[in-house]
A and B are shown apart, each in its own frame.
Chain A
Amino acid sequence: MNARLRGEGLHLAYGDLTVIDGLDVDVHDGLVTTIIGPNGCGKSTLLKALGRLLRPTGGQVLLDGRRIDRTPTRDVARVLGVLPQSPTAPEGLTVADLVMRGRHPHQTWFRQWSRDDEDQVADALRWTDMLAYADRPVDALSGGQRQRAWISMALAQGTDLLLLDEPTTFLDLAHQIDVLDLVRRLHAEMGRTVVMVLHDLSLAARYADRLIAMKDGRIVASGAPDEVLTPALLESVFGLRAMVVPDPATGTPLVIPLPRTATSVRA
């Protein structure tokens, strides 16, 4: 499997606090990879390092064989898009303005709004069903629409690789499905490589081609969802006793948590 984006011997820390110490990871091309793991396991930190938002204190991130921190960041932004967790737009910004900024890495001071920019922005808005909202202020949208607007911006950037940090945070279930369907279509119809961090395990299994399970800054398992999501792994990684059954709708693994004691749930 080819991997345009890889991490080698990554050591990641915030100041004195080491989060990840010696981790190798390959992002397989053309797949949707989802990183799962308990809170504080370092999954968002890893995503930030892969998206060069966090500089590794050791090891390196390679994009197309070049060290990402030695590649001009603008060049990286034409290949790799990053959507941080709960990003904020300035007050009063319209959806169109937001999505237009996705073209930033392709613009120069005299080439501010080329035909190509216009087409890509229109496509991105259409793709996410946000064309009708182009003129609305981002802060007046619902949570689900707002997230679609941000994904639209990342899409307008026109990158082959896309990193999404918890794209479904603060969304109700219907809107989570909305966003994840969109991610799936990005992969299926546009062949994009996507890496995302998700909390819901069953949704992760349903929408990912490949799962990476992390614990305490290490990768514990990786592979197809039905290989990774086993009762034994859930127990060791999350400390969760659970059954795993085939999802009646999709056949992907569905995690059913078991009650810790008989009295903790209604009979």
Chain B
Amino acid sequence: MTDQLILPGRRVVRAGPVSASVPLRPVLVTVLALAGALGVAVLAVGHGEFPIPPATVWEVLTGGGTRIERHILLNLRLPRVVCALLVGVALAIAGALTQTFARNPLASPDVLGITAGASAGAVAAIVLGGVAGSLGVPLAALVGAGISATLVYLLAWRRGLDGFRLVLIGLGIGEILRGFISWVLIRAELVDATRANIWITGSLAGRDWSHAEPLALALLVLVPLALAATIALRVLAFGAETARGLGVRLQRAQLFVVVIAAALAAVAVAAAGPIEFVAFVVPQIALRLCGGSRPPLLASAMLGALLVVGADLVAQIVVAPKELPVGLLTAMIGTPYLLWLLLRRSRKVSG
């Protein structure tokens, strides 16, 4: 047989027992997005009342700079930017996982009620106090996300998981939780309500290392697990019967993906509040940039980092010297996209 199988746009890598066929475009997009994210990050740490040029940023990061520059950069601005990058990574991977798994671009953690659960937990902690209050806001957000994810999963389960059912149940649970949040906010003292409101819009203002460190640790565990899940994920995207025919332990694989996605969304929301639409939009942008049939995880992660750190910088610039919550900005990007997606889909269905 002379004619060989040629896979355009891929590079075959083989060394000993290790082998892979690497698609080149996602690699390129990942590298460019990473470079972009780091570039914007340098601008972002330099931005503020005390501007620091990129060259000085580099000096400080490599151990130089004056004491005041070191203090401003390392203690005040860097944790916020690191938070922004990591939150973007976490949300984007969470969205890529759920969208692939549910075979539905609508199925992001925002739509599936996971982020609403986190918000409900955080608002309860801020306003109601009691048990929720003693947990602290981030932990209460984690618990809220965990409860709502479990609830959606159990209610959507019917001898297997169906993507469409998952989206509908998620929307329902999300609405109930938003109702709960409104109810709590109406009862709240003005001070608490204001604090809670800023939190549920999603903001990176005032984030320090106590926010960035646990987030970084969580991602150190969750991102490799998410990458390991891609092997099962690309077969799960074929639907239940085909996947099982190919030897996937369906229920275990589905549970694994849902748990990783929910955990990623939850740690991101616990650190920065529900920065809306990142998990929803970024994987789809990554998919369009990279081509293929499902959002690539690493490219999504880097684009997520770029979007959040960029949006946070813009949010600090547009109404300077005040600043907008970053979640407001991402929502302004995300909402038109959601409308476009819905219109395009309904047109497809109706002919």
Contact = CB atoms under 8 A, between A and B. Distances in A.
Interface of A: 48, 51-53, 73-78, 81-84, 87-94, 96-97, 100-102, 104-105, 107, 109-115, 117-118, 121-123, 125-126, 131, 134-135, 157
B25 to A, nearest CB: 13
A157 B246 contact: yes
Contact of A111 (B7, B19, B237): B19
Contact of B238 (A53, A101, A135): A101
B245 A83 contact: yes
Interface stretch (B106-114, B118-126, B135-143, B290-298): B290-298
B3 A131 contact: yes
Interface bracket on B: 35 or more
B297 to A, nearest CB: 14
13 contacts: A73-B244, A74-B247, A76-B247, A84-B241, A102-B246, A104-B235, A111-B17, A111-B18, A112-B19, A113-B13, A113-B14, A118-B5, A135-B8
Interface string B1-18: 101111110001110011
A81 B21 CA distance: 24
B231 to A, nearest CB: 6
Contacts of A125: 5
B103 interface: yes
Contacts of B294: 90
Contact of A73 (B1, B103, B249): B249
A87 B17 contact: no
B20 interface: yes
B239 interface: yes
Given A111-B17, A113-B21, A121 B5 contact: yes
Contacts of B5: 96, 118, 121-122, 125, 131, 134
B245 A84 contact: yes
Most chain A CB atoms below 10 A, which of B4, B14, B246, B294: B246
**10 shortest interchain CB distances as A-B pairs:** A77-B247, A82-B245, A122-B5, A93-B293, A113-B21, A74-B247, A84-B241, A105-B247, A112-B20, A90-B293
B59 to A, nearest CB: 41
Contacts of B195: none
A92 B292 contact: yes
Nearest to A83: B245
Interface in B230-275: 231, 234-235, 237-239, 241-242, 244-249
B228 interface: yes
Nearest to B239: A88
Nearest to A101: B235
A189 to B, nearest CB: 14
Judged by DSSP, the binding face of B is: loop
A257 to B, nearest CB: 33
Given A109-B228, A113-B12, A90 B20 contact: no
A73 B248 contact: yes
Contacts of B18: 110-111
B238 A90 contact: yes
Interface in B185-244: 228, 231, 234-235, 237-239, 241-242, 244
Contacts of A53: 241, 244-245
Main SS class of interface, A: mixed
Given A118-B12, A126-B1, A126-B3, A87 B242 contact: yes
Contacts of B246: 77, 101-102, 104-105, 157
Contacts of A102: 246
A112 B7 CA distance: 15
A157 B292 CA distance: 22
Contacts of A75: 247
A82 B12 CA distance: 28
Given A84-B239, A90-B238, 14 more contacts: A51-B245, A73-B249, A83-B245, A84-B241, A89-B293, A92-B292, A104-B235, A104-B247, A105-B247, A112-B19, A113-B20, A113-B21, A126-B1, A131-B5
Contacts of B241: 48, 53, 82, 84, 87
A55 to B, nearest CB: 10
Contacts of A88: 238-239
B244 A97 contact: no
Nearest to B247: A77
Contacts of B247: 73-78, 104-105
A118 to B, nearest CB: 6
B21 A104 contact: no
Contacts of A109: 228, 231
B107 to A, nearest CB: 13
A84 B242 contact: yes
A96 B7 contact: yes
B293 A92 contact: yes
B331 to A, nearest CB: 27
A107 B7 CA distance: 18
A90 B102 CA distance: 11
A81 B292 CA distance: 25
Contacts of B291: 92
B12 A87 contact: no
Nearest to B105: A91
A112 B17 CA distance: 10
A90 B7 CA distance: 19
A8 to B, nearest CB: 22
B338 to A, nearest CB: 18
Contact of B248 (A92, A104, A112): A104
Contacts of B13: 113
Contacts of A118: 5, 12
Nearest to B17: A111
A105 B237 CA distance: 16
